[in-house]
Chains A and B, each alone.
Chain A
Amino acid sequence: MGSRILIVDDSSMSRRIVRGILESAGHEVTEAADGMAALEGYSLQKPDLVVLDMVMGGMYGLDVLQKMYELDEHARVIVATADIQTSTREMATQAGSRGFLNKPIKKEELLSLVNSVLQERP
């Protein structure tokens, strides 16, 4: 059975691509185009998993990640970003991210990571 997944990305192209991959695997997807909408969406929907971009207008992804864990310490968040820096990966991991992917997203990598994180205990 599919899970409920929230995609947070300011690029509609990226949201469309990630949505297509996740829906093809049977997941139910909602979207947010910025950090504030993401936090509101998370509070209302309590999704099983969040796929979060880092560089966005308004709130930076890392701030969204931290606030999401303030809302729910059991939140499951995967970071998907074009930023390939090792330091960014480390910062996301320290902030509680359960996984890290670099854009352009590879379908198999995304689905494998999503499945792996969904199987973890909340």
Chain B
Amino acid sequence: MITLNARQTDALTELINITFGLTAARLSEMSDSRVLMEVPVVGVHPVQGMAGELGPLISDADASVHQVFSGPISGDAILLMDYAGAVTLSNLFVEEHLRSQKFDSSTGEILTEVGNMLLSACLGMFGNLLQVHVTFSVPQLHLESSGDFMAPVSVGGDERRYALVITASFNIFGEGVNGRIVIVLGKSSLELLTEAVDRWEGSPAAVSL
């Protein structure tokens, strides 16, 4: 079973923190609103144990944005949010008098695009780190009442699968908004990623950041 040691977790958290921090800063500028981001929490869970270990982490989600990525590393990237968080996030991008209190088509459209930005930034960072090119599918919005967000996951075959779970917390309009990003990878892709994190962690590039 693959696990991240403390140094790998720290390095990956720092990389994701930098990437999401830039995205949050841009979202803040675009919306002319203050968007604060807490340091993300990163963990790896085997998909087999997802119901047990991952279940509590995703059980509060109502909506997800799903992108399949492929290339030398491949898998599925999913942003999970509850309806209240999605509404707060989408209200960033509409005029004050148009802000909604419920999840509607505009919320879904904005959540899909913001999800695209966060997921693409995260996966793009992996591509840059590994010095490989990763291609993405068009983001798909899923609304689930059953919480079965893993149903569309495409990584298959006999390979053991792992979920890299990133819990990101934002503060928007003074309200806490929690989102989770779940990246499902095959064993070989996760091994490539952890090796690249090890290289980055010991490289001058890490120091310069």
Contact = CB atoms under 8 A, between A and B. Distances in A.
Interface string A95-114: 00000000111110000000
Given A13-B109, A87-B133, A55 B30 contact: no
Interface residues of B, number: 27
Instruction: Decide if the interface of chain B is mainly helix, strand, loop or mixed.
Output: helix
B121 interface: yes
Contacts of A85: 124, 127-128, 133-134
Contact of B125 (A10, A12, A13, A84): A84
B150 interface: no
Interface stretch (B21-29, B55-63, B158-166, B179-187): B21-29
Given A55-B139, A87-B127, A107-B29, 19 more contacts: A13-B113, A55-B116, A55-B120, A55-B137, A55-B138, A57-B138, A82-B116, A82-B119, A83-B124, A83-B136, A84-B120, A86-B128, A87-B132, A88-B124, A103-B26, A103-B116, A103-B120, A104-B23, A105-B30
Interface of A: 10-14, 17, 55-57, 81-88, 91, 103-107
Interface of B: 19, 23, 26-27, 29-30, 93, 109-110, 112-113, 116-117, 119-121, 124-125, 127-128, 132-134, 136-139
